[in-house]
Copies of this chain bind each other. A is one copy, B any other.
Amino acid sequence: MPRVVDAEQRRRELAGAVWRVIRRDGVAGASVRSVAREAGTSMGALRHWFPTQDALLHFAMTLVSENVRARIEGVVRGGGPPAAQVLAVLEETLPLDEERRAEGEVWLALTARALVDDELAALRDRAAAELRQLCALVLDALADAGAVRDGLDTELETERLYAVLDGLALHALIRPTTLPAARVRAVLEVHLAGLRDTR
């Protein structure tokens, strides 16, 4: 068999199979056999790259946060006016298209499993801390641009923005028809607008 050029690449391919299986059959359906079948390979090959099933799921989880992080960095690198950029950054964490929806479903499934899987919980906590930090940075940027009124409790507002963000993500995930992407964006805009002086 052809030697894989990049080991990391191969692992990503297999993790992609994990994603597809999880989206189709849930985490419960993500057995070693079903993932191998989805990836078009064998149990042995799968075990060569991931010594255990948990390792496989953990890697799939890290890929979620890695994807989000990469997209956000892309937006930041892209530049543009602060207000628009802030909105674009936050939107990258929401399941507003098929790609991000897939991430969201995997994220929800693994977040639930993390309730009883310590290692998975550690990954989830790290991702959560990063996302919260992102919210803090967004508020800082808005404050620098003069788009935030004085007298706000920064810590509390960070927590509130983070809650809105994850709440929207969850709702966009489980009721995509009654809460379409445009509506999600509108709620986010209203929230950010509410941070500056009203009337």
The residues of A with any CB-CB pair to B shorter than 8 Å are: 23-29, 105, 108-109, 111-117, 121, 124-125, 128, 149, 153, 156-157, 159-160, 162-168, 170-171, 174-175, 179, 183, 186-187, 190-191, 194, 197-199
* Contact A128 B164, beta carbon cutoff 8 Å: no
Q: Find A128's partner among B153, B157, B174, B194 (CB 8 Å cutoff).
A: B174
Taking the closest CB of chain B, its distance from the CB of A152, in whole angstroms, is 9
* Contact B175 A163, beta carbon cutoff 8 Å: no
- If A156-B187, A171-B163 touch, whether A111 touches B113 (CB-CB below 8 Å) is no
A23 to B190, CA, bound (A): 37
Taking the closest CB of chain B, its distance from the CB of A105, in whole angstroms, is 6
Residues of B within 8 A of A166 (CB): 166-167, 170-171
What are 15 sample pairs from A and B whose C-beta atoms fall under 8 A apart?
A: A23-B115, A28-B28, A28-B113, A111-B112, A112-B112, A128-B175, A156-B190, A159-B179, A159-B183, A160-B191, A163-B164, A166-B167, A167-B168, A197-B198, A198-B198
Q: Is the interface of A mostly helix, strand, loop or mixed?
A: helix
* Contact B197 A194, beta carbon cutoff 8 Å: no
A165 to B171, CA, bound (A): 11
* Contact B113 A26, beta carbon cutoff 8 Å: yes
Residues of B within 8 A of A125 (CB): 174-175
A149 to B197, CA, bound (A): 13
* Contact A153 B190, beta carbon cutoff 8 Å: yes
Residues of B within 8 A of A24 (CB): 116
A125 to B162, CA, bound (A): 23
Q: For A172, give the chain B residue with the smallest CB separation.
A: B163
A63 to B92, CA, bound (A): 35
* Contact A159 B174, beta carbon cutoff 8 Å: no
